[in-house]
A and B are shown apart, each in its own frame.
Chain A
């Protein structure tokens, strides 16, 4: 079946611009996660959605970062006023509750 998909695969933006990254989870997966992978920080948790519960936003690095999950499916991660330190690969994962996470291919964000 279809895996987790993310778009765009690559995004180059100018410092100060806003960007939106999209994640389509595996159908039927109630949990959705965003992680960030960067050279300096490794793999970091950003945010976690589980069903209709309030999301765990404890990993978001600043208030410039936000995420939504509409209809319990697609999620959008938004970064406002991008900075060079936001350059990284943003990974999305989904799972059924209590099972392993399946990762998408990631979006490589470059802020110039």
Chain B
């Protein structure tokens, strides 16, 4: 079985400050990990993915995440927040083979303070 835990359902940061959204996973096999972003009344957009290659993954819009096996974490970061980053962010996990369904965390709503 696989699961992800996102710590903090709401995170607020000032414009220009560091963004850190936390994700910890549990998996019986080496996982594939993803971060998705959802803007209001829209579907999910892939930010970045980890698929067992480089542990530091760079995504769109200046976001990156680091896979840390020892900590079972895949935290999302961005050095400098922009107003347009305000959205809901979901961490997800799936098995690398076979059934590719995603298991999502409960989401973190990011608010940017001007």
What's the nearest-Cβ distance from chain B to residue A31, in Å?
Answer: 6
Instruction: Judge whether B99 and A43 touch: CB under 8 Å.
Output: no
Q: Which residue of A lies closest to B101 (CB)?
A: A45
Complex alpha-carbon distance, A51 and B36, angstroms: 25
Q: If the complex has contacts A42-B107, A100-B34, are A105 and B102 also in contact, measured as CB distance less than 8 A?
A: no
Interface string of B72-104 (1 = CB under 8 A from A): 000000000000000000100000000111111
A75 at the interface (CB under 8 A from B): no
How far is A13 from B27 in the complex, measured between Cα atoms in Å? 39
Which one of A31, A95, A104 contacts B43 once the chains associate, using CB atoms below 8 Å?
A104
B36: which A residues are within 8 A, CB to CB?
A: 103
**Closest CB-CB distance, B54 to chain A, in whole Å?**
16
A14 lies within 8 A of chain B by Cβ:
no
**A65 on the B face (CB < 8 A):** no
Interface residue SS majority, chain A = strand
Residues in B neighbouring A95, C-beta threshold 8 A: 100
Taking CB atoms, residues of chain A closer than 8 Å to B103 are: 45
Does residue B42 face the partner (Cβ distance < 8 Å to A)?
yes
B46 adjacent to chain A (CB < 8 Å): yes
What A residues does B101 contact at CB under 8 A?
33, 45, 48, 56, 59
Q: A33 vs B101: C-alpha distance in the bound complex, in angstroms? A: 7
A59-B103 Cα distance, complex, nearest whole Å:
11
Nearest-Cβ distance from residue A102 to partner chain B, whole angstroms: 7
Closest 5 CB pairs of A and B: A43-B104, A103-B43, A103-B44, A105-B43, A45-B101
